[in-house]
Structure 1
Amino acid sequence: MKHPLAERFDGAAEILTEIDARIPDTRDYTTETRATIDAYHPKRLLLRVAAIIDETATTKTFRLKNHTDDALPPFSAGQYVNVFTDSTSRPYAISSSPTTLGHYDLTVRRVPGGRISNMLIDTLRIGHLLTTTGPMGTFHHNPLFHGDRVVFLAGGSGVAPAMSMIREIVELGLERSFHLIYGSRDAADIIFRTELDSRIAEHPGITVDHVIAEPTPQWTGRTGFLTADTIQDLTGPLDGRMVYVCGPQALYPYAVEQLTALGQPRKRIRFEANGAPSDPTAQPHWPASADPAAEVTVTVGDTSFRTRSGRPLLDALEDNGIRPEAACRSGECSLCRVRIVKGEVHTASESRLRLSDNQFGYTHSCVAYPITDVEIDIHSSPSIPRAIRRA
């Protein structure tokens, strides 16, 4: 519709005539934009197991290809995909290089008592299909904020995102200094050991030091844990270099303690989201009066069920057929965000809540523990993933 003021401007008549003569633009920009977004940030991928690589006695790498054989969405080295199986999901870092989009490699280590890691290692076969999210997470190198001199502390399968970063550096010939300090239980448990040795020779900026907790007499390298003294001996002064940390949950508070003892600023330490805390009661703000073994009632709409206080709310919901969207399962991505209508939950320190969440009763159900009877609202909790968000 022509605006009534339009004709009061010089030349308006000619412009309006030209507009009227234009061929109508009938392109469906909404559909085109949606297709582009889905290609780069798909909500779900259906991936086929193309190869299985035995890394160690406890670890396998599953090479996954698009079931259509098309190229997979791009990702940044260090990101992960969330694998859906057995009515639940688990995030696994991509260990392959982002320079190769014909496949994603997921390196999975057996966790004693682990529900999904053991199932994947024991039952997954070539040709099987897996449903995953697209690549997610903020745990990747950002040259603007992280600089080109970084240190990576890895424990166990926490070497997977480091391997992706190393492969990218070598394959693209990036001018980056990358020092990996990799802690393993014993020498036989070192994942990617042969390739790590070869990558050192291929790029002058790559340094890899192994630290073995339970060495055999034949081991001649570093032993013990990733202590402040060990880190300083291997890296020299950190000088504010960005330090990445990825490994079992117990590594994170320990690494912070060791790094801060060296004067490393907390803002220069980055953690990979890696699951809910193994013992939420060990956190200082767990209520002293709350018994993690006590059962409470959780109510969602017309559904109620009983669960232990020491069990993550998301796990309890899934066990009862209620499955909020979820990805990181570590309190980071915010996809499993719910509102606590009544009752009280313990939200683990891993959760990255918004400043307003406490005021309005929101929490991340993957790291929230119901310590009283609770009523929760899932549908009024819009989940805005922080993948725009694994600095």
Structure 2
Amino acid sequence: MNHPLADRFDGAAEILADIAARVPDTRDHLKQTRRTIDTYHPKRLDLTVAAIVEETTTSKTFRLVGPDDTPLPPFLAGQYVNVFTDGTSRPFAISSSPARLDHYDLTVRRVPGGRVSNLLIDTLAVGNGLRTTGPMGTFHHNPLFHGEDVVFLAGGSGVAPAMSMIRDIVDNDLDRTFQLVYGSRSAHDIIFRDELDAIAAAHPGIRVDCVVADPDPEWDGPIGFLTADTIAGLTGALNDRMVYVCGPQALYPYALEQLAMLGQRRRRIRFEANGAPADPTAQPHWPADVDASEEVTVTVGATSFRTPRNRPLLDALEDRGIQVEAACRSGECSLCRVRICKGAVHNADEARLRLSDKQFGYTHSCVAYPITDVEVDI
């Protein structure tokens, strides 16, 4: 039936006739949209270990491929995937190039007490399967905001996202200047050392400076920590270049202090989220006179259990087999967001909560610590 106003417009009859003559569109657009989303942003990937490279005595790179060597979802250099194993999960940066989607490389370093990193290094073998999320994360280069001349301060396995950025520059012939300042305990701990040296020698826009804290007699490079003097001596004046920082948790406040001494603005420093705080009680807003080791009761539905105050709520839930969707485990991605119906939690500085979360009781469970007995809605 024609709209009553249609006849008032010149050519309306011809347009309506054309519409009526068209073949009906019977495609399932919702299904096609879902297929596209799942291709580029899958919730889960089931990958297989195709190769293992022993980078140093404490680190390995695991090359992961998809079924039947199908191309993997695209990612931006610096992003990570979350690895699920042993009833929990941990994020690991992709160290391979975004230009090569036949595989993802995850470079993992052994750390004292590292539940997942040590498990992967000790037990993962070629042919084993590994479940991950699709690529995610905001720690990547954006030329519009970050410019084309950047500095990257890395420590330990924090070199993994830097390696992906460097390989991205090489593989895509990007017009970008990139300086890596890489701190390691010893020369033997430098991951990708030979490849980094070869790339820097072949590409004038890429510079690599390794700094060793505990040098052996043969080391002739910079020594010590990544102090303001060391950084300035290697990079020259920063001149507000974007500075990326990735490494162990202790590096972040230290690097921020050193960069501030060099006059670097906070908005020109990008930190990769790297886990819950080592000691939440050291944060200024931890409640006074609260014993961090004392246990409180957590209740989820009909299940109740005891857990220490200084254990992240997400970890405590996983200990009891209660699975919560999670990815970054650093307070940023918000996937582990839960509601605190009763009781109080300490929200760590790392939490990136919405303005309304406090009003409605929501928290990021990976960086939330139960201060009192709490009831949780997942």
User: Is TM-score (shorter-chain normalized) higher than 0.5?
Assistant: yes
2:91 maps to 91
CA distance in 1, matches of 2:32, 2:18: 27
SS, match of residue 222 in structure 1: coil
| Separation (CA, whole Å) in 2 of partners of 1:9 and 1:374 | 66
For 2:318 and 2:187, locate their aligned partners in 1 and report how far apart those are by CA, in whole Å. Answer: 38
> 1: CA distance between counterparts of 2:86 and 2:216?
38
Deviates more, 1:215-224 or 1:116-125: 215-224
Identical columns (%): 75
Match of 1:340 in 2: 340
Q: CA deviation at 1:224?
A: 1.1
Which range moved further: 144-153 or 271-280?
Answer: 271-280
1:2 and 1:312 map into 2 onto residues whose CA distance is 63
- Measure, in 2, the Cα distance between the counterparts of 1:35 and 1:294: 48
Is 1:254 the counterpart of 2:254 in the alignment?
Answer: yes
The match for 1:105 is 105
Q: CA offsets per residue over residues 57-108 of structure 1, 9 Å max, x none?
A: 0000000000231010111110000000011000000000111111000000
The CA distance in 2 between the partners of 1:316 and 1:7, in whole Å, is 69
1:166-204 per-position Cα deviation (integer Å, ceiling 9, x unaligned): 111112221111110100011111100111100101211
What is the alpha-carbon distance in structure 2 between the residues aligned to residue 68 and residue 2 of structure 1?
A: 53
Q: Which amino acid aligns with 1:350?
A: E
Q: How many residues align?
A: 378
Letter in 2 for 1:103: H
CA offsets per residue over residues 145-164 of structure 1, 9 Å max, x none? 00001000000000000001
Distance 2:236 2:107 in 1: 30
Q: 2:133 corresponds to which residue?
A: 133
Query: 1:113, CA displacement in angstroms?
Result: 1.2
- Given residue 20 of structure 1, which amino acid in structure 2 is its aligned partner? A
Pair 1:312 & 2:346 matched: no
Within 5 Å, which residues of 2 pair with 1:276-315? 276-315=276-315
Shift of 1:140: 0.5
1:237 aligns with 2:237: yes
Is the contact made by 1:181 and 1:209 (CA closer than 8 Å) also made in structure 2?
A: yes
Q: Write the distance in 2 (CA, Å) between the matches of 1:33 and 1:368.
A: 36
1:11 paired residue number: 11
Contact 1:170 1:202 in 2 (8 A): no
User: What SS is found at the alignment partner of 1:164?
Assistant: helix
* 2:66 aligned residue: 66
Structure 2 regions of 5+ residues with no counterpart? none
State the match for 1:199 in structure 2.
199
Structure-2 change in CA distance of 1:26 and 1:115 (3 Å): same
The CA RMSD measured in Å over matched residues stands at: 1.1
Residue 352 (structure 1) aligns with: 352
State the AA in 2 paired with 1:98.
P
Pairwise CA distance, 1:14 = 2.6
User: What are the superposed Cα offsets for residues 221-268 of structure 1, whole Å, 9 maximum, x if unpaired?
Assistant: 111111111111111111110000000011111111111111111111
Q: How far apart are 1:2 and its partner, in Å?
A: 4.5
SS at match of 1:253: helix
Counterparts of 2:180 and 2:236, CA distance in 1: 13
In structure 2, the residue matched to 1:364 is 364
The superposition leaves residues 19-62 of structure 1 with CA deviations (integer Å, 9 ceiling, x where unpaired) of: 22211111111111111111111111010000000000000000
Q: Deviations over 1:326-380 (max 9, x none)?
A: 00001011100111111111111111111221222111100101011111111xx
Post-superposition offset of 1:17: 2.2
Q: Which amino acid aligns with 2:84?
A: F
- Give the aligned partner of residue 27 of structure 2: 27
